[in-house]
Amino acid sequence: MDWINWDLAINRKYYINMNKPFTTVSGIILAAFIFSGCGTKKNDRSADVLLNRKVDSVLSLMTLEEKLGQLTMYTSSWDVTGPVMNPKYREDIRKGKCGNIFNAHTVEYNRELQKIAVEEARLGIPLLFGYDVVHGHRTIFPIPLAEACSWNLELMQRSAELSAKEAAASGLNWTFAPVVDISRDPRWGRVAEGFGEDTYLSGCIAEARVKGFQGSDLADSNTLAACVKHFAAYGAPVAGKDYNSVDMSEISFRQDYLPPYQKGVKAGAATVMASFNDLFGVPATASKYLMTDILRGEWGFTGLVVSDYDGINQLQNHGVAEDAQHAGELALTAGVDMDMQSGIYSGYMSRSLEEGKINIAAIDVAVRRVLRLKFRLGLFDDPYRYLDKAREDNIVYSDEIMEHALISARESVVLLKNENKNGRKILPLSNPAIIAVIGPLADNQLDMLGSWHAAGDHARVITLLEGLKRKFTNSEIRYAKGCDLYSDDRSGFKEALDLAKKSDVVILAIGEDQEHSGEAASRSIIDIPGIQEDLAMALIETGKPVVVLIMAERPLTFPELNEKARAVIYAWHLGTRSGEALADILSGTCNPSGKLVMSIPRNIGQVPVYYNTKSTGRPFDQFYKYTTKYIDVPNGPLYPFGYGLSYTSFDYGNIELSDTIMGKNDTIKVSISLRNTGNFDGAEIVQLYIQDMVASLTRPVKELKAFKKILLAKGDEVTVKFTITIEALKFINGNLDYIAEPGDFKVLIGPDSQRLKEAGFTFRYN
């Protein structure tokens, strides 16, 4: 008897005679024997073939109701109400009508739920536990947009790895991350969760995040299954309004927005989440073109696709589904395997099957994908493998994770301005006698966690005020709030101004709170809220040195403040160890090295503003009216993509190319000298861009194609080397082919997307 028939025979006999297979010791032993594949000739079969046989073995035992239960995910409502759950959901788990739970964490709570599934349900199929571990679980790292400004792929992979380790220790095995949506519109609140405006950089980070979350083996109980989201083009909603329609050409979609998802999938992401928006007139949750043709057909993805929260039900609001049943049919047919929260698959698909609207094969395919993931996570071998209380106590908030939170926060900070006046710059601070710490975010714990801060505890956050007290032990630290974030009440101005006048330096912390960014937090005006900027101007007018820290989750507009302020830092929301990281930057203990991954506009009228715009027939000319420009502000942003200062200075040499002619099978070696000409050790992010001079379609004025983060001691010099291959020259043409066309190209290298050295070469096919 071959393996699968032997396995099925034992399974059928066992489950027919024993209604609750895992409630006895013999049941546990037999189940472990079956599901681990004991007795098989493993060396004669690939791991994948063996896995499929195990999956089919379980599938053959399932009723239709149990199959649909595996395609259903419900919330435990932890984030709103604590460790409680709708009693109906518990009963659904018990009856096999719900196989997956999200928003449940901690070993104690998840063990209680897993016990229902494993020991009380008929088949004992273990639950999958998912959660939005976007930038940390209990220990919170900087928001993803901030950490992307580190341009440090190893650091970001490590952040994901440690986030997974901490979350897995708390009973989770699936994260709804990374968010890889390209966005060029800071009105959209969820820019905080992504990696900025650039396709290439975002793809590199997507790959790093997936590898960090998943490691080399999903069965390792320190890892989580990753979920690339939101598929697809969710970051480009019309008018920047969350959940809104997305409208773009397929060329733009494939060229600019699709590649980061593909990079995440290619990196091995176990799951993908459908987005809320429509694209090409079809909601993503009902798009066979996205979920089947591209994702599975073109890319070969074999993992699980899950809807976003209530996404299937919302197909009715989109106007493509007549009712809930029809919505479920559309989603399942499109290739969405799991229904998050709608309850439509479990509630209606049996009727659709009876009516011939769907077939059992479609259901079985989706169920197989769910079971495969559970097997890969090791849940059939040990349903409680993620539920070890001693391990949870040892890992959560461990020194290893907390230390990395500090390192990550330091590298995420972007120094925008540090003007020299009377022979010196304000930063770094040199042991001032009295420091005035002012602003509504200076002593704020909750908002430093940022949006989607999972199970982070704001009571553990080190604020800016506390961080400065710990760092500047020989200085007198004085604090005044000055004003609230959104109020017009100026009664606190006097105290703040009096304090500033008696101080040697003012550290001002302003920006937005975590509720005004993230999901469902789009803004039509993206200036610094309330009267905070007025407070800043009044403090600057005192003549005292003022360092402005802008703490936010999106690029805000502040042109007037930027003009007046001598020192400006984009401090983001940096997580649990925010204050210590900022104190290290301000003191010079750590030299800032972050660079923007999203351009900062001068005003809302420039949006969207991004570095890789297309060439036009009338390019900008300040001396000729009839060219592409505004008449009231410059074309460019306040601060461009890739921009960021250091306390030291770097000098770039000239670009050297190994050749000026490149064939299709050739490479060109590119080198440029970089010298630290300042008085501090520091890190510089060297950026390489390519410009296609003539093509069959209009092309961007430049595109990022490579970068390196180089640490240099003061006075040191290094030659930075890159290699250009044909991949750097390819684009989507009018036939939607990904090709490189012969012609002339520019290589541009520099510290940001505007200050660039250049050289040229010619690409030929021969």
The catalytic residues are: 308
Q: 């930027």: which residue's tokens?
A: 562
Cα 474 from Cα 472, distance rounded (Å): 5
Torsion 313-316-320-325 (CA) sign: positive
Q: Describe the crossing of helices 3-17 and 47-59 by its angle, rounded to 10 degrees.
A: 30
β pairing state of 738-739 and 731-732? antiparallel
Residue 125's closest CA among 135, 117, 113, 133?
117
β pairing state of 227-231 and 271-274? parallel
Beta bridge partners, 710, equal: 684
Going by C-beta distance under 8 Å and a sequence separation of 6 or more, which residues neighbour residue 725? 667
Cα angle 338-339-340, degrees, rounded to a multiple of 5? 110
Cα 202 from Cα 257, distance rounded (Å): 10
Peptide bond before residue 428 is cis, with ω within 30 degrees of 0:
yes
Residue 154's closest CA among 211, 115, 218?
211
Torsion 238-244-247-251 (CA) sign: positive
Cα 432 from Cα 477, distance rounded (Å): 10
Integer CA distances (angstroms), 418 to 255, 564, 630, 754, in order: 37, 12, 28, 19
β pairing state of 546-551 and 505-511? parallel
Q: 């507009």: which residue's tokens?
A: 557
Going by C-beta distance under 8 Å and a sequence separation of 6 or more, which residues neighbour residue 43? none
Contact 52, 75 (CB under 8 A): no
Residue 194's closest CA among 184, 207, 204, 182?
182
Cα 677 from Cα 752, distance rounded (Å): 18
Q: 């650039």: which residue's tokens?
A: 198
Q: Describe the crossing of helices 464-471 and 578-587 by its angle, rounded to 10 degrees.
A: 50
The burial class, CB within 10 Å (0-12 / 13-18 / 19+), for 66 is buried
Cα 482 from Cα 180, distance rounded (Å): 37
Residue 548's closest CA among 529, 559, 562?
562
Three-state secondary structure of 433-447: CEEEEECCCCCCCHH
Residue 496: left if φ>0, alpha if ψ -120 to 50, beta else—which one?
alpha
Cα 160 from Cα 351, distance rounded (Å): 42
